[in-house]
Amino acid sequence: MSAAVTVDAVSKRFRLYQERNQSLKATLMRRGRSRYEEHWALRDVSLEIPSGKTFGFIGENGSGKSTLLKCIAKILRPDAGHISVDGKVSALLELGAGFHPELSGRENVYLNGSILGLGRKELDRKFDEIVGFAGLERFIDAPVKNYSSGMYVRLGFSVAINVDPDVLLVDEVLAVGDEEFQRRCNEKFFQLKANGTTVVIVSHDLGSVRSLCDVVGWLEKGAMRKVGPADEVVDSYLDHVHMGREDEGGRGSRWGSGEARLERIELLDASGEPTTRVRTGDAVTFRLHYTTSQPIERPVFAMVLHTLEGVEVTRPNTRQLESAPEKIDGAGVVDLVVERLLILPGTYDASAAVTDYAALHTYDHRHRAVRFDVDPGNPHETDGGVVSLGGVWRIDP
């Protein structure tokens, strides 16, 4: 299979300035030189992106994903190595890139389309389709400086995909769209794949990477650590991330002001014993042990369950059922009692937090603090999915 994009031994460095010359005196004192250190965002990266495939880049913040995408788009020039792209490239890398804020949406469609290589006649023919996909018919003649961030990205994405590119580059910017827009984007991606377009995506949403991408590259500190089938590389990345978390005592990341702290988070079985393995349909209790350094008025306790891929399963909190305590002071426990755990077999992470009543101030947040396994139980559903509906099949012949 031919390569749509070939990256050959590419390296890219940036200067991180510690002190800039802010005055003529400082310039003369330092003989015109500012102090900086070199940061290598990419180091000797090589890979091939097959034609007609959807390729995803994953990795931690600062690993070089967006830098590599900008090098492929020729926005940045590598300091070493070479990148070749076969065909016309369309890129959506930054919110509103290529838009002029004083111009209307209509004028920006023509401006941005011409930058991407479309002629006036072709833009005339595609204009209604571009605006319709973005859902901005009512606002197309308003200045884009008055657009919301969601309107910006919808219009930018709509122009980018309607230039009929051979290679489409998309950064995490799509995450700002609303649910309906993201659904349409996913449908468009599958349509582009069916039409043989090569799509390159940078994303932290590992669930989307699994479902959209054929091949994934894992970048770590500017180096390509692994390239291969999406499921295989995502699993390796997750194992690495969670291995690091276990090395730190299994606590995951944590933040908050600290007036109230979640000292321990437990999963209890039906007999009240701590466990890390339950079955679908079991009665369980999630127990949060807290302490406070001062009285806290009307706190809200919350939990989030995630799959290993990052898919959010549920987000219960004490405010939802008007069960938030009026005040906590000292030490205590908060229980979330689940009579039937209708989560299907798999491995899950539990996060917990305590906030003020408006959820604007976080006292303590324990991210992915507890990991537990769910085995097949009752109902016995093992063919995929995350939750059971708990329904009963009735067949009338």
In this predicted model, what pLDDT tens digit does every residue of 70-100 receive, in sequence order?
999 888 999 999 999 998 888 877 655 668 8
Split at pLDDT 50, 70, 90, the class of 246 is very low
Among 78-92, 165-179, 223-237, name the one with the lowest average pLDDT: 165-179
Nearest to 169 by CA among 12, 49, 78, 81: 49
In this predicted model, what pLDDT tens digit does every residue of 282-311 receive, in sequence order?
999 999 999 999 999 999 999 999 887 778
Q: Which domains does the chain have, with CATH numbers?
A: 3-7+46-243 (3.40.50.300), 254-375 (2.70.50.60)
What is the pLDDT, as a whole number, of residue 334?
A: 96
In this predicted model, what pLDDT tens digit does every residue of 329-376 receive, in sequence order?
999 999 999 999 999 988 899 999 999 988 778 899 998 899 998 988
Q: Give the DSSP per-residue string, 363-383.
A: EEEEEEEEEEEEE--SS---S
**Percent of the chain predicted with pLDDT > 90:** 43
What is the pLDDT, as a whole number, of residue 163?
A: 77
Split at pLDDT 50, 70, 90, the class of 184 is confident
What is the pLDDT, as a whole number, of residue 249?
A: 42
Residue 327 vs residues 191, 264, 287, 333, 356: alpha-carbon distances, Å: 54, 20, 18, 13, 11
Letter for the amino acid at 92? L
Contacts of residue 305, Cβ cutoff 8 Å, sequence gap at least 6: 312, 313, 314, 315, 343, 348, 349, 350, 351
Strand partners, 362: 355
Which DSSP state fits 23? S
Split at pLDDT 50, 70, 90, the class of 177 is low
**381 CB neighbour count, 10 Å cutoff:** 17
Split at pLDDT 50, 70, 90, the class of 181 is confident
Q: Which residues of 148-187 are buried (b: 16+ CB within 10 A; e: fewer)?
A: eeebbbbbbbbbbbbbebbbbbbbebbeebeeebeebbee
What is the pLDDT, as a whole number, of residue 360?
A: 77
What is the pLDDT, as a whole number, of residue 83?
A: 95
Locate 339 and state its tokens: 């009579």
Q: Helices in 22-146 by DSSP H: which ranges?
A: 24-29, 65-72, 105-115, 120-134
The angle formed by the CA atoms of residues 94, 190 and 175, to the nearest 5 degrees, is 30
Which DSSP state fits 192? H
What is the pLDDT, as a whole number, of residue 57?
A: 94
Mean residue pLDDT across the chain:
85
The beta-strand segments (E) located in the chain are 3-19, 35-50, 54-58, 80-85, 89-92, 167-170, 198-202, 215-220, 223-229, 254-255, 260-268, 277-279, 284-292, 296-297, 300-307, 312-314, 327-328, 331-338, 346-355, 362-375
How much is the pTM? 0.60
Q: Cα–Cα distance between 130 and 292 in angstroms, integer? A: 54
**Percent of the chain predicted with pLDDT > 70:** 87
Higher pLDDT, 15 or 278: 278
